[in-house]
Chains A and B, each alone.
Chain A
Amino acid sequence: MSAGHRVELRIPSRAEFVSTARLVVSSVACRLDFGIDAIDDLKLAVGEACTNAIKHSPADSEIIIAYELHPDHLIVEVVDHGRGFDPSARPSVDIDELPQSGLGLMVIEAVMDEVCFQSSPEQGTRVRMVKRRPTK
């Protein structure tokens, strides 16, 4: 058990580093005894959050991924310094009209237990995601 710890990762805003963020989440979730289904969900959510962050921030910037380990849950925060967006203005149109990134956000909301977006234009975006360890 590694509860009570925090791991932070800073990656360049480049697609080839998304797998690094995914590897770290499977590693920390494994330490917290998450099952493989939950680890798949976490990898999916972290992958989508990082992909979105990279898409919306300048190539020379950094993405910060923080993993907070708790006894029964894991919190992952993905912070970018990109152009940001207005979360309240997210369109809720049908799937066919959603761009890939909109689909990513929707998937994150669906597989994580709690998701919170803080974003404002030109200030960057912070996505905070909570996954509780399913009871065995």
Chain B
Amino acid sequence: MPRTKRTPQAAADSHPDAIFQRLRRARGPDQRALLREQLIMAHMKLVRFLAQKFANRGEPLDDLVQVGTIGLINAIDRFDTDRGIRFATYATPTILGEIKRYFRDRGWAIKVPRKLQEINLKATRAADALVQRLDRAPTVAEIAAQIGETEEETLEAMELGQHYELASLNGEVGSAEDESPSVLGDYVGQRDSETEDFGMRVRLEEAIPKLPERERSVIQLRFYAGMSQTDVAKKMGISQMHVSRLQHKAIQRLKQLVREVAE
């Protein structure tokens, strides 16, 4: 369908700068909410574009768009038109930051190197087996097919996996200027983390029933039933954005409750 060409005036009115100017002058919460909504809608294309760049990492695209949208909203609320930079340039790192944090919160900071190590290990074993079977060196495509990973990931793991070698217990940690450098071994083996995790889990399980009903449902569906935000939204008959907000609130509240129980 051909796009209707907008008049120059209409285009100028819908320019983010113009909306921000109106937002600044806006009186009353209704008008502010409306303008904020306009800014969100105007930048959803950017959020989707950025979310897509992370779409091949095993998290649903819808969830990435949702967390990206939270980043966008934070950027809208913090943007200062006097800074002289375009809003989209200002918002991009905030949106990306929120998406990266989402992966970090789900353990990806640890998982990425570990995943690369695992792929590296699997690739090495598969390569050995394939040499036997084919009587020649296998291609990366053959190794990737054998272990069920993409070619790019297999190659990256074979190359970078070596950089993430397990840290040696005798390896020095801390900066080079330290007069008495300590070794990693000094920091491990002093606490039984499983016992601590168990204590934490008991506290968490005591805290969950204290959450308001909707927040409790979100936590149970997301983390106990393992559903995506999209599926939780469908089940509860609310928007994904709402699920995301409830989840955020619930986690903040749980942190507080767990601290209170601990004290």
Contacts and interface: CB of A to CB of B under 8 A. Distances in A.
B183 interface: no
A41 B93 CA distance: 9
Residue from A26, A31, A106 having most chain B Cβ neighbours under 10 A: A106
B96 A94 contact: no
A31 B15 CA distance: 43
Contact of A23 (B53, B112, B159): B159
Contacts, number: 62
A88 interface: no
Interface of A: 19, 22-23, 26-27, 30-31, 36-37, 40-41, 44, 47, 92-97, 100, 103, 106-107, 109-111
Contacts of B45: 95-96, 103
Given A23-B152, A37-B100, A111-B93, 15 more contacts: A23-B159, A27-B160, A30-B163, A31-B163, A40-B100, A94-B16, A95-B46, A96-B14, A96-B42, A103-B49, A106-B86, A106-B92, A107-B49, A107-B50, A109-B89
B46 A36 contact: no
B29 to A, nearest CB: 25
Contacts of A44: 53, 96
B89 A106 contact: yes
Given A23-B152, A36-B109, A107-B50, A95 B89 contact: no
The interface residues of chain A, by DSSP majority, are classed as helix
B128 interface: no
Chain B interface residue count: which class?
Answer: 20 to 34
30 contacts: A23-B152, A23-B156, A26-B160, A27-B159, A27-B160, A36-B109, A37-B100, A40-B96, A40-B100, A92-B86, A93-B11, A93-B15, A94-B11, A94-B14, A95-B16, A95-B46, A95-B88, A96-B14, A96-B42, A96-B45, A97-B11, A106-B88, A106-B89, A106-B92, A107-B49, A107-B50, A109-B89, A110-B92, A110-B96, A111-B92
Contacts of B43: 95
B92 A95 contact: no
B155 interface: yes
Nearest to A47: B53
Interface of B: 11, 14-16, 42-43, 45-46, 49-50, 53, 86, 88-90, 92-93, 96, 100, 109, 112-113, 152, 155-156, 159-160, 163
A23 B50 contact: no
A40 B46 CA distance: 17
A95 B39 CA distance: 10
Contacts of A26: 156, 160
A126 to B, nearest CB: 21
Contacts of B49: 100, 103, 107
A111 B160 CA distance: 23
A111 B156 contact: no
B127 to A, nearest CB: 18
A73 to B, nearest CB: 17
A102 to B, nearest CB: 10
A4 B59 CA distance: 38
A30 B160 CA distance: 8
B89 A110 contact: yes
